[in-house]
Amino acid sequence: MDNLKQTPLNAEHRALGAKMVDFGGWDMPVQYTSIIDEHVAVRTRCGMFDVSHMGEIWVEGPQALDLVQFLSSNDASKLALHQIQYSGLLTPQGCFVDDMLVHKDADDRYLLVVNASNTDKDFAWILSQAKGFDARVTNASPVTAQIALQGPKSLEILQPFVTGLDLAPIKYYWYGYGTVLGERCLIARTGYTGEDGFEVYLSPQSAPALWRALLEAGKPYGLVPAGLGARDTLRLEACMALYGNDIDDTTTVLDADLGWILKLGKPGPFNGRSVLEKQKAEGTARKLVAFELTERGIPRHGFECFAGGQKVGVVTSGTQAPFLKKPLGMAYLPMSLSEVGTAFEVDIRGKKVAAKVVPKPHYKRSK
């Protein structure tokens, strides 16, 4: 435990009695009371997450956009000021170094938010790719804390703490700057739960005070602190990919069924372009699908999928979904088995359990 990294909110989690785990080298809360209760709180009221472990990498300079375009599968030139897009940070093979959120902060300044356990790898990768671009790359992760409020009550709970920024007009995947506890903060309408909510980027020094204040102010609304356990089940219900489970440096953007973040029409070369153009033309052999079990059992990461007695794929994420209350997941299956309604089996500790492909996402919030 001594070697684990800590967020500025570590003492808050311990004071709340959270169960702590090693998450990619970080000492993080997996749950405070119950994953199910925390999950349901986010779907119905509000949950507060410490996501300070996430990586923040700034790309600045005259060729900031050119560098981002070279790194990213999506088309950052389409972003308006303070707009955000989900994208892939790609290898030359069209696979994922990581997935990320690209924020346009100015014409010559972009913020990339990446996965915690990939931050050092991503930063080194981006630096290695930045040679020849007139752009400066900075890893601001150590000086950036992040608190996510997720759930339908998030706006009401957060707004009283923010001056100089009206949160209600901010659309999903947009952001603004406001003053929180005397500090200018980036506040984005984003999240990893499939629910409405905000992510507040602030200094590590200010994070504990805001955490405590939101915990107190949120009580009448039913806000609870929520851990990584609920974060994982929430994102899985929403069919949001988890790096290391559903996507990695062996899966292409198209394999992962993320064609919507691949903009082959954008000008210029970018990592993975030629591989992905070829794959797009020829079609992919496999696809990341959503599925449910139609018999009793719980699918888990790594379980094998079978059809006609043959091994055909693998479960990348699975759980007993706390809000939808059924066993579901995502899996890579051959294209021929990827149609909605297709039956297959999941091998659960030697027992074949019936499953079927279902539409994505498992859960979509009502607007």
Partner 1 sequence: MNIPSDLKYTKSHEWIRVEGNVGTAGITDFAQQELGDIVFVEAPAQGSAVAAGAPMGSVESVKAVSEINAPAGGAVSAVNADLADHPELLNADPYGKGWILKITLANAGELSGLMDAAAYAAYVAESAH
Q: Which residues bind partner 1 (CB under 8 A)?
A: 19, 30-31, 34-37, 229, 233, 296-298, 300, 319-320, 322, 349
Task: Please count the other Cβ atoms lying within 10 Å of the Cβ belonging to residue 248.
Answer: 16
Nearer to partner 1 among residue 26 and residue 175 (C-beta): 26
CB of 355 to partner 1, least distance (A): 15
Distance CA 357, CA 22 (A): 33
CB of 287 to partner 1, least distance (A): 27
Q: Which is nearer to partner 1, 235 or 287 (CB)?
A: 235
Q: In 3D, which of 277, 264, 279, 262 has the Cα closest to residue 335?
A: 279
Query: At a CB cut-off of 8 Å and minimum separation 6, what does 316 contact?
Result: 245, 246, 288, 301, 329, 330, 331, 332
Q: Which lies closer to partner 1 via its Cβ, residue 44 or residue 320?
A: 320
| Minimum distance, C-beta of residue 244 to partner 1, in the bound complex (Å) | 15
- Measured from the CB atom, the residue of 8 and 322 that comes closer to partner 1 is 322
Reading the block at residue 188, the tokens are 């984005």
Nearest CA to 83 out of 65, 61, 105, 100 is that of 105
Shortest CB 310 distance to partner 1, Å: 25
Where does residue 354 rank: exposed (0-12), middle (13-18), buried (19+ CB within 10 A)? middle
Query: What is the smallest separation between the CB atom of 22 and partner 1, expressed in angstroms?
Result: 14
Nearer Cβ to partner 1 (22/183): 22
| Least separation in angstroms between CB 319 and partner 1 | 6
Distance of alpha carbon 237 from its chain centroid, rounded? 13
Comparison of 212 and 326: residue with beta carbon closer to partner 1: 326
